[in-house]
Amino acid sequence: MRSAALRADQALRTAVDRVRPAAHRVGEWLAPLIQRVLQWLAPLLQRIQEAPAVRRLRERVSPHVDKLPESVRRAPRTRSMQVGAAVAAVGVVGLVIGSATSGPANTEIHEAAMQAPIQQPQAQAAPEQPVQAPVEQAAPAPQAQPAPQAPLGPPVEGIDVSNHNGDIDWRQVAADGKKFTFVLATDGTSFTNPRYSEQYHGAKDAGLIAGAYHFARPGSSSAEAQAERFLNVADYQSDGKTLPPVLDLEVDPNSGGCYGLSVDEMHLWTKTFNDKVKERTGKEPIIYANPSFWRQCMGGTDTFDGHPLWLASYEVDSPAVPGGFSDWDFWQYTDKGNVAGIGGNTDLNQYQQGFERLKQLAG
């Protein structure tokens, strides 16, 4: 029995002796390869060791390693252990690379790493930003508010004149209690009152409030042409002493009709004239008319109700307001008046709302 064991041991030793040279040659062949692999992996292994997850795992395991026996922790490493370590390192690298590309698949390792005690880094203070002075917002410009309406007063007396009235002593007119006047400036397409400037400025110089009027002839030329010529002569000034320009609408002096125009055409002509006046002066023109004309030629329209109405109506105690207007502002109540400073008869007028509102209208 003993001899059999000796023979088996001898056979094993013989086999080992035969294999040892080959194993030695393999080890010598693998050693440089393993060295190169380790050199190649060194930067990657360093990054792996510095990775937060590995650092937390190391901190978690380190206390347990310190408890191992000294002999185990200081055991000599054989060449075969080096080869195994190299192979293990390659396996770890493959595992890390695979995890990086496919995401955290191993939940147990992830949870263990998360449970490891981690010291939270202190938050760095954000760089101090320069304090900007508050930008003052410009206050919005105050919007112009309409002036409050002046108080209502008793009717105010005035007149209207043309070249037919000749020379006028305006100081006597003012002394006779007249507060305002309308002066003919132009008529149709060609006539201009030759006395316009002396009458208009003479009235103002005497303290009267004055306004200019145009006798319209819609069948003879366009509204734009007559408005432009009228405004060029009238010389409107926003000086607190000038009433808005007046459009005098009456039947055709020659035919007694509406200048050959339809009601719609009369509406358009009137609106065009008024728009041109407002464009130049900023004022809504005063409209002069009598009830029969407004009914016959304008169809009783209320399109111009926003304009002041100068109404001609004689020999009545109170004028009838034409359809389309809510009330009258000026009333020409006779053409046979007598006024100091004017030879012969002249037209007399009233302004219904009092002197303070008359001044406001001229503002």
248 given a catalytic annotation: yes
| Helix, strand, coil % in the chain, rounded to nearest 5 | 45, 15, 40
Identity (one letter) of the amino acid at 45? Answer: L
Catalytic residue among 250, 265, 275, 356: 250
Query: Which three-class secondary structure state does DSSP give residue 247?
Result: strand
Q: What are the two backbone dihedrals, phi and then psi, of residue 70, each rounded to the nearest 5 degrees?
A: -60, -40
167 given a catalytic annotation: no
335 given a catalytic annotation: no
CB 184 within 8 A of CB 216: no
Which helix (DSSP H) or strand (DSSP E) does residue 310 occupy? strand 309-312
Catalytic residue among 160, 187, 329, 347: 160
Closest CA to 362 of 293, 289, 281: 281
DSSP string computed for 36-80: HHHHHHHHHHHHHHHSHHHHHHHHHHHHHHHTS-HHHHTPPPPHH
**Distance (Å, whole) CA 208 – CA 171:** 9
Structure tokens of 230? 């009228």
Catalytic residue among 187, 248, 329, 347: 248
Burial class of residue 179, CB neighbours in 10 A (0-12, 13-18, 19+): middle
Which residues are catalytically annotated? 160, 248, 250
